[in-house]
Chain A
Amino acid sequence: NAGVTQTPKFRVLKTGQSMTLLCAQDMNHEYMYWYRQDPGMGLRLIHYSVGEGTTAKGEVPDGYNVSRLKKQNFLLGLESAAPSQTSVYFCASSRNPNRDRDEQYFGPGTRLTVT
C-alpha cells in the first residue's frame, strides 16, 4: 500500500494564480483532512471530509475550497493565491474518528510558496 500520497511535492505560485493539490489514499478510509503547517506552529485544519461527496470547514478555511468526488481522493484548491498561503500542506486520512483509535495517516506534504 502506498498509504497517503500528495501531488505535487513543491510548487511556486505568483499572487493571484490558482492551483489544486491532490491527495490520494489507498486504505479505504472514510475521513480525509487537509492541514497547513507554518514555521513554529502546529498543524491547523483547513477542511475535512467525512465521506465521499461531503466536506466541512476546519479552523482556517478562508481562501481554500475542497472536493471529495471519489472516496480515495481529496482535492484542495486555491482560487487566488496570496503570500499568506505560503505554507506546507499535509493531507491525512483516518478510518473513523469515532472508533476507539483515531489514528490519522499523513502524506509527505506539499511545500507551496506564493510570491
Chain B
Amino acid sequence: GESVGLHLPTLSVQEGDNSIINCAYSNSASDYFIWYKQESGKGPQFIIDIRSNMDKRQGQRVTVLLNKTVKHLSLQIAATQPGDSAVYFCAEKNQAGTALIFGKGTTLSVSS
C-alpha cells in the first residue's frame, strides 16, 4: 500500500545547528517526493522536491537526499534559525499520479 512516515515526531535543535528530518516511504514505485513546511495556524508551504532519478537536490539552506534502496528520504536544513520552527511533512505521489500522500509530520523546535 501507499504510505509515508517520519521517524521522529519532534526534533529540538539549537540555533545555528544543522537539522536533519527523516522520512520513510513504502511504495518502491514512487517517483516524486516533496517536502512541506507548516507554520502554526497556516497552510503548508512548499520547500523542495525531488524525483526518483536523483539522489540529492539542493535549495537555499535546504538539501533533500533520496535513498531508493532503503526507501528513505531526508531533509537537511543548514544553520537552523528560529524561523525554521514548524512542522515538516514529506509527501509522495500516489500510484495514480494524481495526488500527494502526506506523512504525519515532524515538529522542529529551534531554540536560541
> Which A residues lie at the B interface, using CB under 8 A?
4, 31, 33, 35, 40-45, 48, 50, 56, 58-59, 90, 92, 97-98, 100-109
Contacts and interface: CB of A to CB of B under 8 A. Distances in A.
Residue from B46, B93, B99, B101 having most chain A Cβ neighbours under 10 A: B99
Interface of B: 4, 9, 32, 34, 41-46, 49, 51, 89, 91, 93, 97-105
A42 B102 contact: yes
B27 to A, nearest CB: 14
Given A102-B32, A106-B43, A108-B43, A97 B104 contact: no
Given A42-B104, A103-B46, A97 B9 contact: no
If over half of A's interface residues share one DSSP class (helix, strand or loop), that class is named, otherwise mixed; here it is: loop
A109 B42 contact: yes
A-B pairs with the 9 shortest C-beta distances?
Answer: A106-B43, A42-B102, A43-B102, A103-B46, A42-B104, A106-B44, A42-B103, A90-B43, A45-B99
Given A41-B104, A43-B89, A103-B49, A109 B43 contact: yes
A98 B104 contact: no
A100 to B, nearest CB: 7
